[in-house]
Structure 1
Amino acid sequence: MVTIAAALVMVSSLPVTATADRTAMRANVVPSEQVGPRWERVEVESSAMGRPVTVDVLHGAGAGPRPTLYLLDGVDAEGVSDWLSKGHAADFFADKPVDVVLPAGATGSMYTDWEHPDAALGWNRWETFLTGELPGAIEPYLHADGRRAIAGVSMGAQGAMMLAHRHPGFYRGVAGLSGCYSTLVGPGSAVTALTVASRGGNVVRMWGPIGTVDWLTHDSTIGAEALRGTAIYLSAANGLPGVPDLDAVLHAPDMLAALQTAGGGMALEAGARVCTENFAKRLSDLNIPATVHYEPTGIHAWEDFSAQLGPAWDTLAAALGK
């Protein structure tokens, strides 16, 4: 296990790399479908990904221009974000003065740039797309005001925090719900590897063997100093089922399958709680302010994730001046 002190020594010896020139990256937005009054689906043609990426947009309330919130899905991240199909995001943001951008298709990818194509997960250059291509395409399309924040759940929480710490100042705020924020410290490498493997991916295709440089530089616990000045919200439950979780099992068409899923959700959320506590302590040790909320009950399930969207938005809204 790598300690933070040892990792910081390793980081200090790495060469300084230049931030990508975002002005040189181009992507086109092609309207695809009007799903609802303020819900639009577009295709963003990405050179980095080598394909069009489906992106759902929730247009905000009130007169523009408005800030932009990039909202990342969990490990499934398929054709439509689970924030929309399970997390009630469209209803929640219907009266909020922010445009919400939800990319799809990042299944098991960690929202990062992979070193090599993967037989199961394909070619992934999500960091380049999300920070280099998508903002420069979608924000002019939305007539945005240039203020932006990023948030995510589970894999998306880790991805959001990685992007925020690797691109200091690019986002005014970041929110992580039920995530793990290390790739090396504590259980971080195991959580990261299991996330990728759970959808058939080979984690060595992502950043190389565990413990090598890319694993180090994607660790938000190690790189937490770069988050200074960014508004931060963290939340996690403890893995104990609450009333919404029990109701979901009771009303499931297959109660046995729902019980098995709930059991996995209990273990995952207990792990997310440990990860969140470790990351919150690291921020506290560095005197970096963060709003941290621990739920007394809850498992790794959308009934619980959606309940944290409101408190997370409170922190992000303040950072965005809303």
Structure 2
Amino acid sequence: MSTLACTALALPAGVAVAETAGVVSAVDIDSRRQLVTVFSPAMDKPIPVQVIRAADTEHPRPTMYLLNGSQGGPNESGWDAQTDAVSFLRDKDVNVVTPVGGASSYYTDWVRDDAALGRNKWQTFLNEELPSVIEGYLRADGNRTVVGVSMSGTSVLNLAIAKPGFWNSVASYSGCAQTSDPIGQEFVRITVENWGGGQSIENMWGPRNGPLWRANDPLVNAEGLRGTEVYLSTGTGIPGAPHDTPADKRVQEGRIPLPVQIAFGGPIEAAVHFCTVNLANRLRELNIPVTLDERPVGTHSWGYWEDDLRSSWPFLARSVGSRTN
């Protein structure tokens, strides 16, 4: 969805009203893909949303919400530019919805506007505003799954915990489930302040010793995942083939220098592995079913997440009743 050779679609007058969530515009990318702009009252702004319509639209179909990582998706930083997700999902019996934006926001509701990152009320948008609008627009069937990677791997767990029964399933690829302990808070700080240029993580969930940090910690609130099908994946941080070698297509195309991927992605994934295994163990203690894909190697990088999408597809398809393999 990076290249927009598009045709604008005319929408009826009054489709979007400033005080209510609604479709503002829709632009064709090709016969199956659109860039749909949805107004968010909570954030008081329009949000671009990439859409792939289900392969078969004769009847209502389920919806997959595929969230981008810490950069939010624009400028070649998301699923469409970094993976083969578009081609892989084109023949699937689901609608695919990917919001663009929310860099370093953790796709959560911030307690204060941030001087650098603005107003972030993403949990409200993703749990309350977007689904009814976009699923109505796509004639969806009400079955839905939400998939996140890295930063949004944490977010999708919190989305499911915040609204039990709303999501059929959740998949977290390399997401750190611990946010309220010192290690987890430092991971959040690096994502928000160092990488994202945010003013302060306290604009997100308040003081570090405040209640909102625990309220947004999936490990602490793992009981809230009961009734939602859970898929977790993680590497160990140990570089491995094929993605941590010169053979990886992203390395060959110059999208990321291999030494950088290994030097930064290795330690990050090692930390993520710790968080992910802790969450899986906690869910098992609570007798909540969980599927864990624990790879013996792998850094924090897109090649592995491309593999994760393919590996988890049978789980996701079954959870929403999709008929496609």
Q: TM-score range by the shorter chain?
A: 0.7 to 0.9
How far residue 250 of structure 1 moved from its aligned partner, in angstroms, is 5.8
Distance (Å, rounded) in 2 between the aligned partners of 1:253 and 1:150: 30
Query: Displacement, 1:311?
Result: 2.1
Q: Does the Cα contact within 8 Å between 1:178 and 1:236 map onto a contact in 2?
A: yes
Cα RMSD between the aligned structures? 1.7
**Structure 2: how far apart are the matches of 1:294 and 1:182?**
17
Corresponding position: 1:69 with 2:67: no
SS of match in other structure, 1:245: coil
User: Distance between the aligned counterparts of 1:72 and 1:186, measured in 2?
Assistant: 26
Q: After the TM superposition, which residues 69-218 of structure 1 pair with which residues of structure 2 at under 5 Å, given as runs?
A: 69-79=64-74, 82-185=78-181, 187-197=183-193, 198-201=195-198, 202-218=200-216
Compute the displacement of 1:209 (Å). 1.1
Matched AA of 1:200:
G
* Distance in 2 of aligned mates of 1:45 and 1:94: 26
Q: CA deviation at 1:207?
A: 0.8
Indicate the residue corresponding to 1:41 in structure 2.
35
TM (normalized to structure 2)? 0.87
- Aligned in 2, Cα 1:254/1:206: closer, same or farther, shift over 3 Å? closer
Which residue pairs with 2:23 in the alignment?
Answer: 29
Displacement of 1:232 in angstroms is 0.5
Cα distance between partner residues in 2 of 1:72 and 1:178: 13
Aligned to 1:57: 51
Q: Would you say the 8 A contact 2:261–2:299 is kept in 1?
A: no
* C-alpha distance after superposition, 1:102-144 (max 9, x if no partner): 0011100000011111111111110111111101110100001
Which whole-Å CA distance do the structure 2 matches of 1:190 and 1:149 have between them?
A: 29
CA contact (8 A) 1:75 1:107 kept: yes
3-state SS of 2:243 partner: helix
Q: Which of 224, 238, 242 is the matching residue for 2:236?
A: 238
Letter in 2 for 1:276: T
Contact 2:261 2:301 in 1 (8 A): no
- 1:302 and 2:296 are equivalent in the alignment: no
SS in 1 for 2:273: helix
Unaligned stretches of 5+ in structure 2? 1-18
- 1:186 Cα shift? 6.6
1:92 counterpart SS class = helix
| Partner residue in 1 for 2:267 | 267
- Any idea what SS the aligned residue of 2:90 has? helix
Residue 253 of structure 1: CA displacement?
Answer: 4.1
CA distances 1:219-258 after superposition (whole Å, capped 9, x unpaired): 1111111111111100001112222221238625498x44
Instruction: Provide the residue aligned with 1:251 in structure 2.
Output: 252
Q: TM-score, normalised by structure 1?
A: 0.88
Describe the shift of the 1:32–1:73 C-alpha distance in structure 2 as closer, same or farther (beyond 3 A): same
Alignment partners' CA distance in 1, 2:253 and 2:139: 42
Q: Which amino acid aligns with 2:70?
A: V
Contact preservation (8 Å) 2:24, 2:46 = no
How many equivalent pairs are there?
297
Q: Which residue of 1 is the match for residue 278 of structure 2?
A: 278
Distance 1:250 1:82 in 2: 16
State the one-letter code of the partner of 2:29: V
Residues in 1 aligned to 2:123 and 2:163: alpha-carbon distance in whole angstroms: 10
Q: Contact conserved, 1:68 with 1:148, CA < 8 A, in 2?
A: yes
Percent identity reads 40
Whether the 8 Å contact between 2:238 and 2:298 is mirrored in structure 1 is yes
Provide Cα deviations, 1:69-124, integer angstroms capped at 9, x if missing partner.
11111101143661111122111111110001000111000000111111111111
- Counterpart-to-counterpart distance in 2, 1:239 and 1:124: 31
Task: Looking at secondary structure, tell me which structure has more helix per residue.
Answer: 1
Q: Which residue does 1:290 correspond to in 2? A: 290
Deviation string, structure 1 residues 154-180 (Cα, Å, up to 9, x no partner): 011100001001111110100000010
